Chains A and B, each alone.
Chain A
Amino acid sequence: MKMLIKGGDVVNPEKMNVEQLDIKVESGVITAIGNNLPVEGAQVVEADGKLVCPGLIDMHVHLREPGYEHKETIATGTKAAAQGGFTAVACMPNTNPVADNASIIRHILERSEAEGVVKVYPIAAITKGSKGDELTEMADLKSAGAVALSDDGIPVASAAVMRRAMQYANMLNLPVIPHCEDKDLVGGGVMHEGFQSTVLGLPGIPAAAEEVMVARDIILAETTGCKLHIAHVSTAGSVELVRQAKRRGVNVTCEVTPHHFTLTDEEVTGYNTNTKVNPPLRSSADVLAIKEGLADGTIDVIATDHAPHSEEEKAVEYQYAPFGLVGLETAVGLVFTELVSKGILTAPEAIAKLSLNPARVLGIKAGKLMVGETADITIIDPGAKEVINPAHLAGKSKNTPFNGRELKGLPVMTLVNGKIVMRDRRVTG
Chain B
Amino acid sequence: MSLQSKHMLGLQHVSDEDIITILNTANAMKDIIKRKIKKVPTLRGRTVVTLFYENSTRTKTSFDLAGKYLSADTVGLSASSSSVQKGESLIDTARTVEAMGADVVVLRHPAAGSSKMLAENINCSVINAGDGVHEHPTQALLDMFTISEHKKDFKGLKVTIVGDILHSRVARSNIWGLTKLGAEVSVVGPATMLPPKMEKMGVKVYTNMEEALAGADVVNVLRIQLERQKQGLFPSLREYSRLYGINQERLALLKDDAIILHPGPMNRGVEIVSRVADSSQAVIEEQVTNGVAVRMALLYLLTGGEKVEDVN
- A residues neighboring B (CB under 8 Å): 193-195, 197-204, 270-271, 315-320
In the bound complex, CA of A203 to CA of B113 (Å): 12
Q: What would 12 more interface pairs be, CB under 8 Å, given A199-B172, A200-B134, A204-B195? A: A197-B195, A199-B12, A201-B133, A201-B135, A202-B113, A203-B133, A317-B90, A317-B117, A318-B113, A319-B113, A319-B132, A320-B111
Instruction: Mark contacts of B108-125 with chain A using CB atoms, 8 A cut-off: 1 yes-contact digit, 0 otherwise.
Output: 011111101100000000
Interface pair B197/A201, CB less than 8 Å apart: no
Q: How many A-B residue pairs lie within 8 Å, measured between CB atoms?
A: 61
Interface pair A318/B112, CB less than 8 Å apart: yes
For the complex, is B131 an interface residue (Cβ under 8 Å from A)?
Answer: yes
In the bound complex, CA of A378 to CA of B131 (Å): 48
CB-contact partner of B113 in A193, A195, A198, A271, under 8 A: A271
Interface pair B109/A317, CB less than 8 Å apart: yes
In the bound complex, CA of A352 to CA of B287 (Å): 64
Interface pair A198/B196, CB less than 8 Å apart: yes
In the bound complex, CA of A319 to CA of B196 (Å): 19
Set of chain B residues within 8 Å of A320, measured between Cβ atoms: 111
- A selection of 7 A-B contacts at a CB cut-off of 8 Å is A195-B197, A198-B201, A201-B132, A201-B135, A204-B196, A271-B117, A319-B111
In the bound complex, CA of A197 to CA of B172 (Å): 12
In whole Å, how far is B131's beta carbon from the nearest beta carbon of chain A?
7
Going nearest first, the 7 A-B pairs with the smallest beta carbon separation are A201-B134, A271-B113, A317-B111, A195-B197, A201-B112, A198-B195, A201-B133
In the bound complex, CA of A270 to CA of B132 (Å): 15
In whole Å, how far is A197's beta carbon from the nearest beta carbon of chain B?
7
In the bound complex, CA of A195 to CA of B201 (Å): 8
Interface pair B195/A319, CB less than 8 Å apart: no
In the bound complex, CA of A320 to CA of B198 (Å): 25
For the complex, is B200 an interface residue (Cβ under 8 Å from A)?
Answer: yes
In the bound complex, CA of A318 to CA of B12 (Å): 19
For the complex, is B237 an interface residue (Cβ under 8 Å from A)?
Answer: no
In whole Å, how far is A37's beta carbon from the nearest beta carbon of chain B?
57
Set of chain A residues within 8 Å of B135, measured between Cβ atoms: 201
Set of chain A residues within 8 Å of B131, measured between Cβ atoms: 201
Known: A202-B132, A271-B117. A319 touches B197 (CB 8 A): no
For the complex, is B60 an interface residue (Cβ under 8 Å from A)?
Answer: no
In whole Å, how far is A192's beta carbon from the nearest beta carbon of chain B?
10
For the complex, is B169 an interface residue (Cβ under 8 Å from A)?
Answer: yes
Known: A199-B172, A200-B113, A201-B131. A315 touches B89 (CB 8 A): yes
For the complex, is B91 an interface residue (Cβ under 8 Å from A)?
Answer: yes
Residue of B nearest to A318 (CB): B113
In the bound complex, CA of A112 to CA of B310 (Å): 71
Interface pair B90/A201, CB less than 8 Å apart: no
Interface pair A201/B116, CB less than 8 Å apart: no
Residue of B nearest to A196 (CB): B197
In the bound complex, CA of A199 to CA of B166 (Å): 10
In whole Å, how far is A114's beta carbon from the nearest beta carbon of chain B?
36
Instruction: Mark contacts of B84-106 with chain A using CB atoms, 8 A cut-off: 1 yes-contact digit, 0 otherwise.
Output: 00000111000000000000000
Residue of A nearest to B121 (CB): A315
Set of chain A residues within 8 Å of B196, measured between Cβ atoms: 193-195, 197-198, 204
In whole Å, how far is A319's beta carbon from the nearest beta carbon of chain B?
4
In the bound complex, CA of A316 to CA of B114 (Å): 9
Interface pair B172/A201, CB less than 8 Å apart: yes
In whole Å, how far is B171's beta carbon from the nearest beta carbon of chain A?
10
Set of chain A residues within 8 Å of B198, measured between Cβ atoms: 198
Interface pair A317/B113, CB less than 8 Å apart: yes
Set of chain B residues within 8 Å of A270, measured between Cβ atoms: 116
Interface pair B197/A200, CB less than 8 Å apart: no
In whole Å, how far is A73's beta carbon from the nearest beta carbon of chain B?
25
Set of chain A residues within 8 Å of B89, measured between Cβ atoms: 315-316
Contacting residues of chain B (41-95) with chain A, CB-CB under 8 angstroms? 89-91
Set of chain B residues within 8 Å of A271, measured between Cβ atoms: 112-113, 116-117
In whole Å, how far is B74's beta carbon from the nearest beta carbon of chain A?
25
Set of chain B residues within 8 Å of A194, measured between Cβ atoms: 196-197
Residue of B nearest to A198 (CB): B195
Interface pair A195/B200, CB less than 8 Å apart: yes
In the bound complex, CA of A315 to CA of B91 (Å): 9
In the bound complex, CA of A271 to CA of B109 (Å): 15
Residue of B nearest to A319 (CB): B111
In the bound complex, CA of A351 to CA of B195 (Å): 41
In the bound complex, CA of A13 to CA of B224 (Å): 59
Set of chain B residues within 8 Å of A199, measured between Cβ atoms: 12, 172, 201
Interface pair B90/A198, CB less than 8 Å apart: no
Set of chain B residues within 8 Å of A204, measured between Cβ atoms: 195-196
CB-contact partner of B114 in A193, A195, A198, A317, under 8 A: A317
Set of chain B residues within 8 Å of A202, measured between Cβ atoms: 112-113, 132, 134
In whole Å, how far is A201's beta carbon from the nearest beta carbon of chain B?
3
In the bound complex, CA of A319 to CA of B112 (Å): 7
In whole Å, how far is B247's beta carbon from the nearest beta carbon of chain A?
29
Set of chain B residues within 8 Å of A201, measured between Cβ atoms: 112-113, 131-135, 169, 172
Set of chain A residues within 8 Å of B90, measured between Cβ atoms: 316-317
Residue of B nearest to A190 (CB): B112
In the bound complex, CA of A320 to CA of B197 (Å): 25
In the bound complex, CA of A193 to CA of B12 (Å): 19
In the bound complex, CA of A204 to CA of B167 (Å): 12
In the bound complex, CA of A203 to CA of B198 (Å): 14
Interface pair B197/A198, CB less than 8 Å apart: yes
Set of chain A residues within 8 Å of B117, measured between Cβ atoms: 271, 317-318
In the bound complex, CA of A316 to CA of B94 (Å): 13
